[in-house]
Structure 1
Amino acid sequence: MQVDLNKLKTFHTLAKAESYTGCAQRLCLTQSAVSHAIRKLEADLGYDLVDRAGRKFRLTREGEFLFQQCAGIFDRIDDTLDRLAAGKGHRISLTLGAPSEFGSSVLIKGMAPFLNKHPHVHVDFFLDPYLLAPLLSDDLDIIVDCIPHVHETLVCVPLMREEYVVIASRSYMDDHRIQSIADLSRCRLLSFDKDLRWWKNFINALAGHADFGCDTVIRISSVRGIINAALASMGVGFVPRYTVLKELESGQLMELFPDTEVLNDQINIYLKKRNFEKPPFPDLIRHIRSLRLH
């Protein structure tokens, strides 16, 4: 049986994207062209590949089997082409994902030496709190994240521990007479969310041994926003220590409750197993691991 490889590639891309829209965008085709290619492939094979009975995208049993076989073939082809490109010095493009603050404060600031050393590698940056889905769908090639991810297709490379600190301006600290954790009950807390899940590493460290509460919660959807709000004496913030090193050193912000052993997060590098040893990922991983928080 002879099958059109272009249609097989379209099916492989559709199965990875799990949507006709995503497949069309990646292949620069219209959705109708993708749909036509899939139906033509199904007609050539003599069985359905996509289960169209439900509203959610799902492959048939035959479609799942074909996708697994295609994945190995197309991944090996992509790997071979990438290795040939690296050997010839041809340009390799990849996208690195990270949370906004870590990406802008650490990765982007420290990436120039890598790019200068590897001029054939082009790196785009995707700064966003939600990184797993685009990594699994190959919209991202590698991510750095403090959220733990477990998936059979991924490799996890430990990077560093992320320490947190409770912060406030000197004037806010004095005005609200903050001396103990119980004093937060008359303070505004600055948080990503109203439920204080953002503060979980601090709250969990208390283990019920301190009276913890607050007057109100101001929701701010970025670390830099929380820092600026603390500088403006709007309330008490909770942020990664590396993001406020200069402010703490200069006295613009004060560290509250330094004796509290706040729980840390683990920052890891994640990428597909098939890319782990593929150039330029080993060099990129080594470079990221060499970066220091300043």
Structure 2
Amino acid sequence: MDWDKLRIFHTVAETGSFTHAGDRLNLSQSAVSRQIRALEDELNVALFHRHARGLTLTQEGELLFQTAEDVTTRIRRTEKNLQEGLETPQGELKITTTLSFGSTWLTHNIREFLELYPEIDVQLLLSDQDLDLTTREADIAILFHPPEHADLIQRPLTSTRQCIYGSADYLARRGTPKTVDDLDSHNLITYGISSTAPIRDINWLLQVGRNGPARHPVLRINNINGALQAVRAGIGLAALPEYLVRGSSNVVRVLDDVTSPSFRAYLVYHENERSSKRIVAFRDYLLKKIADSRF
């Protein structure tokens, strides 16, 4: 089977369009279409269902795409391994972590790494949903819960917790809670969908100190940084990680003796990357940076 045709097929399957595949491959739409038609003639099967809204894979196309995806992943891995053979760490490094941690602590502390390793092409992929390291959606992850896959290496980084915060304006209007029972009469801001939350039991504020039904929040936001902005706007109280709040103006901690259970941060990467110079460089840098900071 011709590799060029397989590469073009893989790109078309990923993009769902001859036009978009052509843009990525720097080919015309007609050239891409001819290559796909030639591959279908060679295999004597239809690889795509063609319709007005784009392309979808046939059953035979799905089977070929799985093979093409495996070949492409192996080639990319080989390229990285060849780059790793060079003395200086270099090549692409895709780092994923949560929106709140990535947009605050990590972006504020990664500059020195970029200066130390200018030949590493760093991409930050920020999402509260875990990316799949086994399929190389990212190379390395900073998670706030243990990874689910057994073939991933997990390196504990540090432990942190959530505390309860409100704005000075809100507390002046509604009063400062003295006990957890006082939370019943306050506006509470929580994470939107707990099933996709970056940490376990993220909405503990609704249940703390109660044996009966959970408190009802005044606002749900599926972004912890958004919850901080809602607190700063005077909407109510929220449980927020300490690293996120540090340095924020007009934000006051309340009920100092009430916190979430401690949760651990992990550095996670695939076992095949254990000798990667890019991974090792970032791992060592991150461990030192966390040790030097008041996380």
Q: What is the TM-score when the length of structure 2 is the normalising length?
A: 0.71
Given that residues 105 and 244 in structure 2 are in contact (C-alpha distance below 8 angstroms), is that contact kept between their aligned partners in structure 1?
A: no
Inter-partner Cα distance in structure 2 for 1:11 and 1:155: 33
Are residues 1:4 and 2:11 paired?
A: no
Inter-partner Cα distance in structure 1 for 2:230 and 2:180: 20
Residue 38 of structure 1: how far off its partner (Å)? 3.2
Structure 1 unaligned regions, length at least 5? none
1:186-230 CA-partner distances (Å, limit 9, x unpaired): 222233439999752333554x4377535x613556444433443
Residue 107 of structure 1: how far off its partner (Å)? 1.6
Secondary structure, counterpart of 1:126 in structure 2: strand
Residue 24 of structure 1: how far off its partner (Å)? 5.5
User: What is the one-letter code of the residue matched to 1:104?
Assistant: S
Given that residues 189 and 218 in structure 1 are in contact (C-alpha distance below 8 angstroms), is that contact kept between their aligned partners in structure 2?
A: yes
Are residues 1:226 and 2:233 paired?
A: no
Residue 102 of structure 1: how far off its partner (Å)? 0.8
Inter-partner Cα distance in structure 2 for 1:260 and 1:156: 29
Aligned to 2:179: 180
User: What is the one-letter code of the residue matched to 1:254?
Assistant: V
Residue 164 of structure 1: how far off its partner (Å)? 0.9
Inter-partner Cα distance in structure 2 for 1:236 and 1:169: 8
Aligned to 1:202: 205
Residue 236 of structure 1: how far off its partner (Å)? 0.9
1:41-73 CA-partner distances (Å, limit 9, x unpaired): 2221233445779x9945636752x44544454
Aligned to 2:37: 39
Aligned to 1:213: 215
The structure-2 alpha-carbon separation of the partners of 1:271 and 1:46, relative to structure 1 and needing over 3 Å to count, comes to: farther
Are residues 1:244 and 2:245 paired?
A: yes
Structure 2 unaligned regions, length at least 5? none
Given that residues 18 and 58 in structure 1 are in contact (C-alpha distance below 8 angstroms), is that contact kept between their aligned partners in structure 2?
A: no
Given that residues 163 and 259 in structure 2 are in contact (C-alpha distance below 8 angstroms), is that contact kept between their aligned partners in structure 1?
A: no
Given that residues 146 and 268 in structure 1 are in contact (C-alpha distance below 8 angstroms), is that contact kept between their aligned partners in structure 2?
A: yes
Inter-partner Cα distance in structure 2 for 1:43 and 1:152: 42
Given that residues 162 and 240 in structure 1 are in contact (C-alpha distance below 8 angstroms), is that contact kept between their aligned partners in structure 2?
A: yes
Which region of structure 1 is more displaced relative to structure 2, 143-152 or 98-107? 143-152
User: What is the one-letter code of the residue matched to 1:202?
Assistant: L
User: What is the one-letter code of the residue matched to 2:215?
Assistant: G
Inter-partner Cα distance in structure 1 for 2:29 and 2:144: 36
Secondary structure, counterpart of 1:79 in structure 2: helix
Aligned to 1:93: 92
The structure-2 alpha-carbon separation of the partners of 1:140 and 1:49, relative to structure 1 and needing over 3 Å to count, comes to: same
Residue 123 of structure 1: how far off its partner (Å)? 1.2
The share of aligned pairs that are identical, in percent, is: 23
Secondary structure, counterpart of 1:122 in structure 2: strand
Aligned to 2:131: 132
Given that residues 48 and 63 in structure 1 are in contact (C-alpha distance below 8 angstroms), is that contact kept between their aligned partners in structure 2?
A: no
The structure-2 alpha-carbon separation of the partners of 1:197 and 1:264, relative to structure 1 and needing over 3 Å to count, comes to: farther
2:289 aligned to 265, 288, 291, which one?
291
The structure-2 alpha-carbon separation of the partners of 1:73 and 1:42, relative to structure 1 and needing over 3 Å to count, comes to: same
